[in-house]
Amino acid sequence: MTASTPGRDLVVVIPVFNEEGTIAKVIETWNGELAKLNVAYEIHVYDDGSNDQTRAIVESVCAHLPSVKGHTGCNAGHGPTIRRAYVEHCRGFEWVFQVDSDDEMGPDWFYKLWHIRHHHDFMVGKRYERDSSMSRKLVSLFARLTVRAVYGPSIYDVNCPYRLMRSAAFAPCFESIAPDSFAPNILISGFAAYRHLKTVEIHIPHRSRYSGQVSINAWRLVTGSLRSFRQTVGYKARLASLGTNSEVC
């Protein structure tokens, strides 16, 4: 594992699984866009046990881009991989940004979140022109209604993988989420609503994936969603035990 450097502005975490056809482009385009912002940043790519050439490609990219760091692990799943990335880097950077590796939401619009960061704790992309299956849309609706019912008014796209978070506000949240959580981003959205953090959504174009494979099939999506529902409801009790110290709020 590569340690974070305290005091840096931004860390971007990208979970990846079997994306040999697109991961090099994703890393390089994000690196290029971030370089334009003139900020101190690092990109940390987390390979979730890919069984294609993804790991080798990430290592190759890291060799010529010093701002990119690669991490490997067993196939723990998308959620646990994201949670691991958050926990390992949130206290070394002022801001944490997460995006997926499928290139469905590109870096072209990140500046819209970055330029308003001083006014918010939580900036999230709201996917539009989304080309997803009906089952995924229904799961998203169910998640949104669950977060609203349990935690109060929240963002629309509660599981969107395009989110910029103030580390000081979210570090206790990241560290309190169970390592095996199916959808940590839903819990994070609940946390933001429960703590009344300053939140904004920005419309971000969504495009269909053109390479790689969806890491979860329809049956696993259903069973995972039920598991996520239980975890989303149960996490509220965990939040109460965190207290209301200034670091959390």
The pLDDT of residue 140 is 85
Lowest mean pLDDT across 25-29, 126-130, 189-193: 126-130
Per-residue pLDDT band for 173 (boundaries 50, 70, 90) equals: very high
Q: What is the pLDDT of residues 154-163, one digit of tens each?
A: 999 999 999 9
* CA nearest neighbour of 109 among 210, 33, 200, 10: 33
- Does 139 fall in a domain? yes
CATH code, 78:
3.90.550.10
For residue 3, being part of any structural domain is answered with no
Better-scored residue on pLDDT, 149 or 246: 149
In a domain, 248, yes or no: no
Domains in the chain: how many in total?
A: 1
Smallest Cα–Cα separation from 142: which of 235, 230, 231, 229?
229
In terms of DSSP bridges, do strands 8-16 and 93-99 run parallel, antiparallel, or are they unpaired?
parallel
pLDDT attached to residue 1: 38
Helices within the chain (DSSP H only): 23-36, 54-64, 78-89, 110-114, 134-151, 167-176, 184-194, 218-242
For residue 77, being part of any structural domain is answered with yes
Residue 60 has pLDDT above 60, yes or no: yes
Q: Which amino acid is at 163?
A: R
- Percentage of residues in the chain having pLDDT higher than 90: 75
Rounded mean pLDDT of 27-38?
A: 96
Task: Flag whether 157 is in a domain.
Answer: yes
Full domain range(s) for residue 24: 8-242
pLDDT at 210: 59
State how far the Cα of 165 lies from the Cα of 136, in Å rounded to an integer: 25
Q: What is the mean pLDDT of residues 200-214?
A: 77
Sequence-distant contacts of 55-59: CB under 8 A, at least 24 apart: 57/20, 57/23, 57/24, 58/16, 58/23, 58/27
Q: How confident is the model at residue 129 (pLDDT cuts 50, 70, 90)?
A: low
- Report the pLDDT value the prediction gives residue 101, as an integer from 0 to 100: 96
